[in-house]
Amino acid sequence: MKVKDQPKYLAIAEDLRLAVEEQKLAVGGALPSHSELVDKYGASVSTIRQAISYMARQGWVKARQGRGVFVQRPAAAPARSADSTTVGFAVFDTSLSIAGAKCPWHVSDAVNALVYQGAAEVLQRNKREAFYGVFGPGPDSLERFGAFLGRVSSVLVFESFDQRVLDVLQEHPHVRPVLLGHPVDDICVDGYSCASVDLSNAGYLAAQALGIHNHKKVAFVGQLAGRPNAEMTAGFERACRQYGLQCRVNLSILDMNEHQVAKHLVDDPECTGVVIVGDLAAGRIQQSLAGLGVQTPRDKSIVAIGGIPSCYTLSARSMARVNCLFEELGRQGARLLFSAAMNTRSRVTPVMFERGDSLRMV
């Protein structure tokens, strides 16, 4: 297992291998063409090539000159026993839930990669193999997830709080699950071990940064819903009270796009500090503000709540941000798998990762 493997191509490779085991792809038959795989997985050609190269290294497929790539691993594979060293890492579709509705916390491939890498570090130290799977949306998602669970002894499930997912977990009592992320409204996770980011502290730290830099009138731009949103805004409001901040604008990217948010912020020049949930959203709003003649940090300071490496963001400059430590979330979830205690609740404490140059003293 390589800690730095990118989950996107791993997920595609594992999905194709699972299709072989379910006899949806025949041994000796050709894989679908690159263009068909690009359309199916929404990936780039280079990512598809990475996935096929990985499969070839594992001996699952073999390229035949001028004829294509053919499956060569037997379709049937032995199920994993309860004492297996294989741990599953399951992610449901990153933009839509299996019900086809928007997720309250949009999970990007970059976040998936960070959580997976953190978990993989702990699994590797404990001589465990990671088995990555992505599911949905689609009518066979739950069936495929059930087959996935038949091959592992334990599983980390990231941001997949759907009652039907929990029902499938209950059908596999030999598999020890740990849920990563934040339960949405109306979903009961009693009886499960869970690890999540302390969203209240994340909101507090972001507002605290503005207060320490003498901002008095601030805005909050969220993109969460339900309990996760309430938790983060509670921390934000607590810091506002402590530092005497007036929250003049409370917006949500769930209700409008980033350019519309920027227009609202421009209309209030006295609001000099802005907290934005999500690195990518912060970068886009910063660019929209610049297009409207508002410069960061001269006119408005921005603090992002996220934790995605800067190479994935769209910000023109280094963004001040609260790091939600997604890698540590993966590590903590993996640690819970090896804990003797059951039904454990664990929270990862965010940190002020960098000041950046989107934040100035007023």
Instruction: Give DSSP secondary structure letters for 230-275.
Output: HHHHHHHHHHHHHHT-EEEEEEETTTS-HHHHHHHHHT-TT--EEE
Is residue 98 scored above 80 in pLDDT? no
- 3-class SS of residue 228: helix
pLDDT at res. 137: 66
Strand partners, 314: none
pLDDT: is 362 or 220 the higher one?
220
- 3-class SS of residue 360: coil
* Nearest to 178, CA basis, from 150, 159, 162, 163: 159
pLDDT tens-digit readout, 28-77: 888 888 889 999 988 888 888 878 877 776 678 888 877 788 888 644 44
* Number of Cα atoms under 13 Å in the Cβ half of residue 353: 21
* Number of Cα atoms under 13 Å in the Cβ half of residue 193: 20
If you average pLDDT over each of 51-60, 231-240, 246-255, which comes out highest? 231-240
pLDDT: is 293 or 113 the higher one?
293
Contact (CB, 8 A) for 73 and 25: no
CB count within 10 Å of CB 112 equals 23
pLDDT at res. 235: 95
Element (H, E) at 11: helix 7-21
pLDDT at res. 20: 81
pLDDT at res. 92: 75
pLDDT at res. 104: 40
In degrees, rounded to 5, the angle at the alpha carbon of residue 309 between the alpha carbons of residues 122 and 134 is: 55
pLDDT tens-digit readout, 189-227: 878 889 988 999 999 999 999 999 999 999 999 888 788
Domains and CATH numbers, the chain: 7-71 (1.10.10.10), 199-325 (3.40.50.2300)
Mean pLDDT, rounded, for 91-106:
47
Q: Which of 4-18, 42-56, 160-174, 194-208 has the lowest mean pLDDT?
A: 4-18
Mean pLDDT, rounded, for 140-161:
86
- 3-class SS of residue 38: helix
Q: Which residue has the tokens 């404990």?
A: 126
| Residue 7 confidence class, pLDDT cut points 50, 70, 90 | low
Distance CA 186, CA 205 (A): 28
The structure tokens listed for 215 are 């901002």
Which strands, in side-by-side order, build the sheet including 301-306? 246-252, 217-222, 273-277, 301-306, 320-323, 351-354
The phi and psi torsions of 335 (rounded to 5 degrees) equal -60, -40
Strand partners, 321: 304, 354
| Residue 314 confidence class, pLDDT cut points 50, 70, 90 | low
Task: Please state the pTM of the whole predicted model.
Answer: 0.71
* Nearest to 337, CA basis, from 122, 135, 79: 122
pLDDT at res. 99: 40
Mean pLDDT, rounded, for 140-145:
82
Is residue 93 scored above 70 in pLDDT? no
pLDDT at res. 159: 79
Contact (CB, 8 A) for 204 and 181: no
Separation of CA 14 from chain center:
19
pLDDT at res. 313: 56
Give 287: exposed, middle or buried? Use CB within 10 Å, 0-12, 13-18, 19+: middle
Contact (CB, 8 A) for 91 and 12: no
pLDDT tens-digit readout, 261-290: 999 999 999 999 999 998 888 888 999 999
CB count within 10 Å of CB 269 equals 11
The CA radius of gyration of the chain, in Å to the nearest whole number, is 22
The pLDDT mean for the chain works out to 81
The structure tokens listed for 309 are 């490496």
